[in-house]
A and B are shown apart, each in its own frame.
Chain A
Amino acid sequence: GNSVTQMEGPVTLSEEAFLTINCTYTATGYPSLFWYVQYPGEGLQLLLKATKADDKGSNKGFEATYRKETTSFHLEKGSVQVSDSAVYFCALWSAAGGSNYKLTFGKGTLLTVNP
């Protein structure tokens, strides 16, 4: 079946530091890949997405590139801010072995950015 593995948290950084959150996946076919963000007390929000190999998704200074050869979709940001503190979820959209398409999430990575 489909699965998403992302780096264990929590991740704690100082403001303006470089961020990488690793994400790898297992899927049949050609999935679409997503990063969602969840701020405290809120629901998830779509951060960025990529629908085919070598696509780069970007939003709010965050970027991730769909790497089919390494089955990865790592999230990066060059300079984090305190307001980026949240839980980040990697996800893939694909059908699993003949079943219906659905969004499969990783377990989430908590990011805390200190001033």
Chain B
Amino acid sequence: DAGVIQSPRHEVTEMGQEVTLRCKPISGHDYLFWYRQTMMRGLELLIYFNNNVPIDDSGMPEDRFSAKMPNASFSTLKIQPSEPRDSAVYFCASSWDRGNQYFGAGTRLSVL
């Protein structure tokens, strides 16, 4: 298996623009997680899905952030409008065993 695939690897955008991050989980994994990593706050869980259904979105920072999982092989995290404080590395992870999570390589987002 190719592992968890995230795109793009790097995204540079201007404040106010919409940003969409994409994730393809490992086939057969029924949990999908979105994390954000910054130097100041470390690794934060934003939202997770089980069988394509959002289970816990308590980590989503505000209404500007939204996540969808239309099918078992694809998820998106959208930020609209983006702000400089959203600059971070965003990771997607998938799992069949919740704690044993397989991470993608991440998307480094810079909002200017």
Name A residues whose Cβ lies closer than 8 Å to a Cβ of B.
32, 34, 41-46, 49, 89, 91, 93, 99-103, 105-108
Contact = CB atoms under 8 A, between A and B. Distances in A.
11 contacts: A34-B100, A43-B91, A43-B93, A43-B105, A46-B102, A99-B56, A100-B55, A102-B48, A103-B45, A106-B42, A108-B42
Interface residues of B, number: 20
B54 to A, nearest CB: 11
Nearest to B41: A107
Chain A interface SS verdict (over half)? strand
Contacts of A101: 98
Chain B interface SS verdict (over half)? strand
Given A43-B4, A44-B91, A105-B43, A93 B106 contact: no
Contacts of A93: 98-99
A101 B106 CA distance: 23
Interface in B27-83: 33, 42-43, 45, 48, 55-56, 58
Contacts of A34: 99-100
A16 B93 CA distance: 33
A108 B48 CA distance: 22
Given A46-B102, A100-B55, A103-B101, 12 more contacts: A34-B100, A43-B91, A43-B103, A43-B105, A46-B100, A49-B99, A49-B100, A93-B98, A100-B56, A102-B45, A103-B99, A106-B42
B104 interface: yes
Contacts of B98: 93, 101, 103
B99 A32 contact: yes
